[in-house]
Amino acid sequence: MTDATVPAARHPSQQTTAYAIILAVSFCHMLNDVMQSLLAAIYPMLKSDFGLDFWQIGLLTLAFQVTASLLQPVVGIYTDKRPMPYSLTVGMGMSMIGLMLLATAHTYVMLVVGACFIGIGSSIFHPESSRVARLASGGRYGLAQSLFQVGGNFGQALGPLLAAFIVVPLGQGSVAWFSAAALLGMIILWRVGNWYSAYRRAAAKRPAMPVGHVLMRSKLIIALVVLVILTFSKNVYMASISSYYTFYVIERFGVSVQASQYLLFVFLGAAALGTVAGGPIGDRFGAKFVIWLSILGVLPFTLVLPYVSLPWTVALSFVIGFLLASAFPAIVVFAQELLPGRVGMVAGIFFGFAFGIGGIGAAALGVLADAKGIEFVYWACSFLPLLGLFTIFLPNMRALKSA
């Protein structure tokens, strides 16, 4: 690993923000994550239909998320050297295959294979689409990353609603209907690929950007380790909600399966709003400020959650989702500033690690839920935001830029 540099001023040719491209990849991120979130949203139905235990539910999440986590860094590193503008379409196609397998599966093994294909689609889609959003940002990196990621948040939020209104009443086969969304995404991403190709041709004619201040290798390593720890804290807690929140409210408060989907939507919708807010705040006050606010600031609410009534559970889930979700755009932007010129690798590693640790966390929490009960899981996870204290070891990037 070489010493990192803090990027200098934006290149004049990058001042214009290409909102149409950012919104296009954000919309496709929404479609991609709708397909992904259907898997978690139909867990209660699959558990009943296939007679699954909690550890098998966790293994499904592990199959999806670890597949994505193992491949995303590889895709990111490769495309840093050889960008592939049209790989986004291929990734969406892989997710469509995974949907069809989930819709037609008659065995648990086929469910796992379908989850793996969705993971492969994510591993291809996320690094390159994150790169496209950054290229189209015009230097407003936090805003672009938030707009890109909020598409995924909205997709995750819509998944449970679509499952409640379509899949739960009509059954497993109705999952196949969402392949139409994948086809639409493939068409849009082909057009984005055309823009990306044109951008690369134009960029080849521009003078190289000047290099900013050097960050010592030891400080770089510490900063990256801290960002990994913060990602661990955020994503394991998010996994506890996305995979098991429906079971938690069903067991503790006796709500119906359909009502539990609505409650999960409240959390995921709040996460979408938090993602939108996090980027512009990061552009204005710095990514480190957002990380402090979102990771450590959520601690009082997570500590109270296991002890409150249903109305307060819903309200706290909204606050927790909003605060936690604002962290990830800031973490990605911070890491990309630490390692300029390695946008794909950074996106692949952090999106991949987020998926992977979420999958491992989901599997581990499933085992814990079988052994200790689902309420114990939420008590144990409530302490995870304490890891936000490690933010103190992150460098002040704004001070380095202005020095």
pLDDT at 267 over 90: no
Domain-by-domain residue ranges, the chain? 17-200+217-402
Structure tokens at 135: 């290229």
pLDDT-based confidence at residue 6 (cuts at 50, 70, 90)? very low
> To the nearest whole percent, how much of the chain has pLDDT over 90?
11
Give 268-296 pLDDT, tens digit per residue. 788 878 888 877 877 777 778 888 888 88
Asked if residue 35 has pLDDT above 70, the reply is yes
* Alpha-carbon span 343 to 349, nearest angstrom: 10
318 near 270, Cβ under 8 Å?
yes
CA distance 340 to 4: 7
Coil vs helix vs strand at 4 = strand
In the predicted structure, residue 367 carries a pLDDT above the cut 90: no
- pTM over 0.85? The answer is no
DSSP helix/strand/coil, 214: strand
SS3 215: strand
Residue-wise pLDDT for 100-157, tens only, equals: 888 888 888 999 998 899 888 888 888 888 888 888 888 778 788 888 888 887 787 7
Query: What topology does CATH give the domain 17-200+217-402?
Result: Growth Hormone; Chain: A; (1.20.1250)
Q: For the stretch 268-291, what's the b/e string if a residue is b when 16 or more beta carbons lie within 10 angstroms of its beta carbon?
A: bbbbbbbbbbbbbbbbeebbbebb
First to last CA, the chain: 24
User: Stretch 342-360: mean pLDDT, rounded?
Assistant: 70
User: Which has more confidence, 205 or 230?
Assistant: 230
- Gap between the Cα atoms of 164 and 256, Å rounded: 11
